[in-house]
Structures are given as C-alpha cells and as structure tokens.
Structure 1
Amino acid sequence: MALLCLSPLNRLLANKLSKRREVANVVLDFSVRTATTHTPQFLGLPKGAWSQQGGYETAGEGIVIGFIDTGIDPTHPSFADDISEHSYPVPAHFSGVCEVTREFPSGSCNRKLVGARHFAASAITRGIFNSSQDYASPFDGDGHGTHTASVAAGNHGIPVVVAGHHFGNASGMAPRSQ
C-alpha cells in the first residue's frame, strides 16, 4: 500500500490518479497555518485516530509512503530506524531502490527510509539543473523534501532545535510507516 501526497492538483488529474491500483489515496493540498510540532494535536491524533489504532507506536505500520520532492536527508532523526524499542519490519512486497551517489552513500537507506532515487537527468539535459543548490542524487538540496517526508512519515517525539532553541517535539502523522 502507498500514499501519494500531491500539492495543488486539478480534479481531473486527481481523479485519474486515484483510479490506479498502485495508488491508495490522493489528497488535494490546502493551506493551513504552519505549526509543525503541534500538527498531531491540531488533527486530534493523540485523542482520536492514533488511540483508536493502538497509539503512535503503531500508527502507519505496514505502509510505505512515497514522495516526489527535492530529496531527503538520510541523517535526519525523523528517519532513524533505531529510535524505538520495536525495530521496523522489512516492508512486504516493497521493490524500491536505494540509489547510491557521492552525496547519498551506501547505508543511507535503512529499515525506516527504505528507498530513495533521483530524477535529475531531464533537468540536466534541458539545462535547468542548478548545480549550486541541487544534487544529482536523492540527497535533499534545500530541505523541503526532508520536511515534507518527516511531516507525513517522520518518527514520533523528535526534538526540534533551531539555533539552540527547543521548539517542542515533532512527529510524523504515520510515525511507524516507512
């Protein structure tokens, strides 16, 4: 099972994607006030869906979430596979690839971050690849992909520290997903 999250998308494309057997869900994006460390509370997860499904300890287990974005930082604690007392299971029927590059060395993928690829060839060929900020690698050049992936699938209870200031703990909406 996979969840495909897409930014603003027209209804025709959303409808077409939602009918494909590989796609479990298509969600149209909408704007809300940014409060990443409080999103689980905003959505009512600690008292609602999480508790009904066994708590954050199992929320998302067995689901592999796929993202198409700027890349991912495999060193981010949201994607560590040794954070909980229960190790991540090898996902059933997952056939993804962990592409190795200079910026994304062997070992970047683990049981939490199970696959990563880059698709820079077209941008390079078309002359629109910005090598000063982008990578021909799964590594995230600007942090957007890492942020987006951690909001959906990041580990639970990750301290958010910026310039020495603690802004609470963050959690992905499906912290046991991969």
Structure 2
Amino acid sequence: MRKEVANIVLDFSVRTATTYTPQFMGLPEGAWVKEGGFETAGEGIVIGFIDTGIDPNHPSFSDKDINSQHSYPTPKHFSGVCEVTPDFPSGSCNKKLVGARHFVQSAITRGTFNSSEDYASPFDGDGHGTHTASIAAGNHGVPVIVSNHSFGNASGIAPRAHISVYKALYKSFGGFAADVVAAIDQLKME
C-alpha cells in the first residue's frame, strides 16, 4: 500500500432506515432511559430550524401526542411568533410548533423569488425542512405510510422538544446569505 492511502474498505450496500434512527443510535436503551424515556426527552427545549419551512399538518408536529400522557407545556423562556399567511393560516402553530417565520427580502430584491413556485410563508415547499425537523424533534411513534405501505413508526431524537422554524431556503432557487443571516438574528432574539 502507498503512503498516501490511509485505509481501504470493501464497498457495502446501505439502505435508508429513517424509522430506525433511535434504535441505531441506541436511544431506547441509552440516552432516553437516562433522561426519563421518550416521554420527556427534549422537554423544555425549543429547537430553532433554519431551513425550507415546515408542514404544520404533519403528525410529527401535533401537540396532541397520542403516545404520551403529558400534554405539551407552553415554553416559558421563548417569545417566538407564528407568522400568519394564506399558506400558513392561524392555528398552524400549537404547543409543539411554537414559532414560524419566513425570510425572503433579499430574494425579492434580486427578483429571484417566484410566488407561483415558492410559498411566501413558513410553509415548506419541498419537504426538506419538515423532514429535518421531524428527525430532530418529531413526536414519538408516528406511523410512516407512503403509497398505502407502512414503514413502521418514526420518532424524533428529542420528541418532547418544541420547534420554531425560520424559513430562509426555497425550493426553486435555494436562498441568499442575507436572508439566512436575518433568520439567525431573529432566532437569537427569541
């Protein structure tokens, strides 16, 4: 072997296994148990996501968790806002999804934003933000069904955490640093 080569590993097949992430990470036997189980993992924490938005109708973000005896408390240390738009109506936020805003001023100024392709709201236009938020803080035991086929139940890593979304990325063009920085600045203030 040449000195420039540190290691050689045979290729192997892999597959997606989103519903098994907690098991892969050892959460059911490890961290969740030490922190009181999935019923309290993430309790009292608000996770801020800067991404493509969120679909508030996804069951991972319901504040009526059928798998828990505890209702979601309103976070005492968070002052986020739930922005209301035609695509993100009043009631989109709840005690789980505690904040949602969108940032697009730079894209509008540049003439890049296209309202017929992208939502001028916190609503997720391509699913990336929804997926990311559900991995980190989605409810525990949510059935995953695609095209009438069950893929088991999924859980976020911190299923009792609250979520606040700061949309600065869009399906058709991505985003601009000025909008991302505006989202970061807003997140820091809340």
TM-score normalised to the size of structure 1?
Answer: 0.79
Gaps of 5+ in 2: 1-13, 163-190
- Determine if contact 1:38/1:170 at 8 Å carries over to the other structure: yes
Distance in structure 1 (CA, Å) of the matches to 2:114 and 2:151: 32
1:45 to 20, 27, 36: 27
Aligned to 1:164: 148
The answer as to 2:114 corresponding to 1:126 is no
Distance in structure 2 (CA, Å) of the matches to 1:116 and 1:161: 26
4+ runs of 1 displaced by more than 6 Å? Answer: none
1:91 to 44, 54, 75: 75
Aligned to 1:103: 87
Distance in structure 2 (CA, Å) of the matches to 1:47 and 1:159: 21
Q: How many residues align?
A: 147
Kindly name which structure, 1 or 2, has the bigger radius of gyration based on alpha carbons.
Answer: 2
The answer as to 2:127 corresponding to 1:143 is yes
CA deviations on 1:88-117 (whole Å, 9 max, x unpaired) are 111021011100000000000000000000
Q: Which moved more, 1:121-130 or 1:42-51?
A: 121-130
C-alpha displacement of 1:85:
2.5
SS of alignment partner, residue 95 of structure 2 = coil
SS of alignment partner, residue 97 of structure 2 = coil
C-alpha displacement of 1:33:
6.0
The percent of aligned pairs where both chains have the same amino acid is: 80
Q: Whose relative contact order is higher, 1 or 2, with alpha carbons under 8 Å and at least 6 apart?
A: 2
- Determine if contact 1:133/1:142 at 8 Å carries over to the other structure: no
SS of alignment partner, residue 166 of structure 1 = strand
Residues 102, 35 of structure 1: CA spacing in aligned structure 2 closer, same or farther, 3 A cutoff?
same
TM-score normalised to the size of structure 2?
Answer: 0.75
Gaps of 5+ in 1: 1-31
